[in-house]
Structure 1
Amino acid sequence: MKQIILILTCLMLSFASGAQQKIQQYAVKSGHVEYQLSGNTTGTKSIWWDNYGSLSRTETKSVSRSKMFGISTETKTHDITIMDGKQFWSANLIENTGQKGNLPYYQEMAQINENMTEAEKQKIGKDILEAFGGEIVGTENVLGNKCEIVKLMGAKCWIYKGIALKSDAEMLGIKTTETAVKFEKNISISKSKFTPPGSITYEDQNQYQQQMMGGMDSFDDEDSDDEDIDLIPVKYPYGKFEKEASEFEYNGYRKMMVMNNKGTYSAMFMKGMSETLAVAATSRKNGNPGQIGNLESFTHKGKKCMYGKMDDEDDTSLIVDIPNYDTYIILVSSAAQSKSEMLSILDQFNF
């Protein structure tokens, strides 16, 4: 049932691991930006990247000052973070400590990214922005580059082709501003720039990541001769799936994205900052998800359903059989949901 696991994994983790995943993050192939930091944190930050951001180096030298209950604190930082394909290294040059590990599901997300048109990428970006209550409030030039001004959660960012050239945020009385003072586009960058500092002993985070992600990375080591999974396209009409996802309203959930990846459909919703709901449509020929875990089978409004938890997973799942389209609709909630609660969610759709 590796195919079904892959579908669910990509759905649930494509945004959870977004802070460390950079798959064509920028619309500029290579570049270098230097920032001046001001506010409660002062100093400099530099970013170098190649291959649209899949290779990157971020170096920050700063001093952060704060005052709480009459007590002033000062924290110095000198960090370097390297992203190189599927791996990352994070080094603290003040304490000579660091971490390294794999970027979870990089290859799967890279394949999804490659199969999307620019219009689809822009639509998903807009959906995510709107889901978090953000908006584009105008345009302004920074270093001669026309940027969209994005306002989100009390912060403002000036973005040029995916690159933030300025940001301004204030939270709990702490103000932070990053302003680009140098921007070089499409330049040649030495490969040595993406080599992690050699003076650091790096703590391997892979085992910890697997525990945090529910051990899902482990299936990559199994069936190694079956790395490329060809999923059979679903017969369910994508236009109908997209319409149902776009019109879904229930208990504070906000749509993050909806997409068609090689005939397998997926949609993501969020409630607050931590609760997620993933919905997928996949062909029944890709496998029976009921064989993954101990799921209860029953009938709801004339449709065969399965409810429960997948093997070794905390997420709650509800699978609906749509035989006239030879399709399974799979709902996965990160929160513990009763059967009646999951059915209430299902009833908001018209699958």
Structure 2
Amino acid sequence: MGKSKYIFGFLLFGVVGLFAQSNRYDIKSAIVEYEISGNGDVMGSEASVSGSSKLYFKDYGQLELSEDKIVQIVTDDKEEEHNITKIVGNKIYNVDFDEKVTYQQEMVVDEENPFLNLKNSETLSSMGAKKIGSEEILGYKCDIWQLGEDKIWIYNTVPLKFVSKSLGIIQIQQAKLAVFNIDIKDDKFKLPPFPVKVMDDVLNNNSEVPELSPDQEKMVEDMMKQTGKTYSK
């Protein structure tokens, strides 16, 4: 199985609006903690996903940190993941715990990846998503939107629940804690003390690219989609 950050249709992070010139959220700040679960059949093998995720942001999303810890099991094959993404203004940082390095790139509005641009009902409707109802999550009234087999519950531009189906697995990520418009200490946004590599520099250095693992190549490809660039070995 691929990394769960590629499996989850509505994740990863920055799921609501990559808008460098405007507020990314309609709420000033938030702390949201999610529980992740999923199960299904992958090519005839029983599979399950479990874990947790958290989202911190302030200044209407100008500063944001997302982190997930996930365990995937297919039959007896167990894979553990730890992902962190941080957004500061128009820069995005992705932490690679395997290589102990953080990749930095500039982010732009991605018209070809609408799930990275979710913000309001107009944007969702323009994508072809349909509002199918409303439901309270942790006491907050959320609008429920559906696109294909995926559903997302949104409270004031902040996602509180996701349901997606991919690779034969039905996955649910639901908030178990959500607090809004609060003061958040800067230490909540600290990254591990890994060296930072700028993606343009990595891609322009031919000596480094061949050393990328398949998962890292996938990360590079997804990150390049956000900048409108292409990646080749």
TM-score bucket (shorter structure): 0.5 to 0.7
Q: Deviations over 1:226-272 (max 9, x none)?
A: xxxxxxxxxxxxxxxxxxxxxxxxxxxxxxxxxxxxxxxxxxxxxxx
Question: What residue is the counterpart of 1:229 in the other structure?
Answer: none
8 Å CA contact retained: 1:33, 1:46? yes
2:182 aligned counterpart, secondary structure: coil
2:124 aligned counterpart, secondary structure: helix
Please tell me the residue identity of whatever aligns with 1:43. G
Shift of 1:76: 1.1
Question: What residue is the counterpart of 2:133 in the other structure?
Answer: 138
Shift of 1:81: 1.0
Higher RCO structure (Cα 8 Å, ≥6 apart): 2
> Which structure would you say has the larger Rg?
1
Query: Does 2:71 match 1:74?
Result: no
Length-normalised TM-score, structure 2? 0.65
Shift of 1:174: 1.5
Length-normalised TM-score, structure 1? 0.44
**Distance across 2 between alignment mates of 1:104 and 1:137:** 30
Query: Does 2:50 match 1:55?
Result: no
Aligned with residue 87 of structure 2, among 83, 87, 91: 83
Question: What residue is the counterpart of 2:53 in the other structure?
Answer: 45
More moved, 172-181 vs 189-198: 189-198
**Distance across 2 between alignment mates of 1:133 and 1:186:** 31
Q: Do the aligned partners of residues 209 and 166 (structure 1) sit closer, same or farther apart at CA in structure 2, a change above 3 Å counting? A: farther
8 Å CA contact retained: 1:64, 1:74? yes
Query: Does 2:178 match 1:179?
Result: no
**Distance across 1 between alignment mates of 2:104 and 2:35:** 27
Please tell me the residue identity of whatever aligns with 1:21. L
Q: Do the aligned partners of residues 188 and 95 (structure 1) sit closer, same or farther apart at CA in structure 2, a change above 3 Å counting? A: same
Aligned residue pairs: how many? 172
Question: What residue is the counterpart of 1:36 in the other structure?
Answer: 35
**Distance across 1 between alignment mates of 2:156 and 2:30:** 12
8 Å CA contact retained: 1:83, 1:194? no
2:164 aligned counterpart, secondary structure: strand
**Distance across 2 between alignment mates of 1:193 and 1:201:** 19
Shift of 1:175: 1.7
8 Å CA contact retained: 1:58, 1:81? yes
Identity level (%): 28
Shift of 1:188: 0.7
Shift of 1:209: 8.0
CA-based RMSD of the aligned residues comes to 2.7
Shift of 1:33: 0.2
Shift of 1:141: 0.4
8 Å CA contact retained: 1:102, 1:206? no
8 Å CA contact retained: 1:148, 1:158? yes
Q: Deviations over 1:253-301 (max 9, x none)?
A: xxxxxxxxxxxxxxxxxxxxxxxxxxxxxxxxxxxxxxxxxxxxxxxxx
**Distance across 2 between alignment mates of 1:193 and 1:162:** 21
Considering fraction of residues, name the structure with more helix: 1
8 Å CA contact retained: 1:66, 1:174? no
Q: Do the aligned partners of residues 28 and 65 (structure 1) sit closer, same or farther apart at CA in structure 2, a change above 3 Å counting? A: same
Q: Do the aligned partners of residues 209 and 177 (structure 1) sit closer, same or farther apart at CA in structure 2, a change above 3 Å counting? A: farther
Question: What residue is the counterpart of 2:185 in the other structure?
Answer: 190
**Distance across 1 between alignment mates of 2:176 and 2:128:** 29
8 Å CA contact retained: 1:168, 1:177? yes
Please tell me the residue identity of whatever aligns with 2:130. E
Q: Deviations over 1:102-139 (max 9, x none)?
A: 2348xxxxxxxxxxxxxxx85xx42x433433100001
**Distance across 1 between alignment mates of 2:37 and 2:30:** 23
Q: Do the aligned partners of residues 47 and 209 (structure 1) sit closer, same or farther apart at CA in structure 2, a change above 3 Å counting? A: farther
Shift of 1:78: 1.1
**Distance across 2 between alignment mates of 1:93 and 1:170:** 27
Question: What residue is the counterpart of 2:96 in the other structure?
Answer: 92
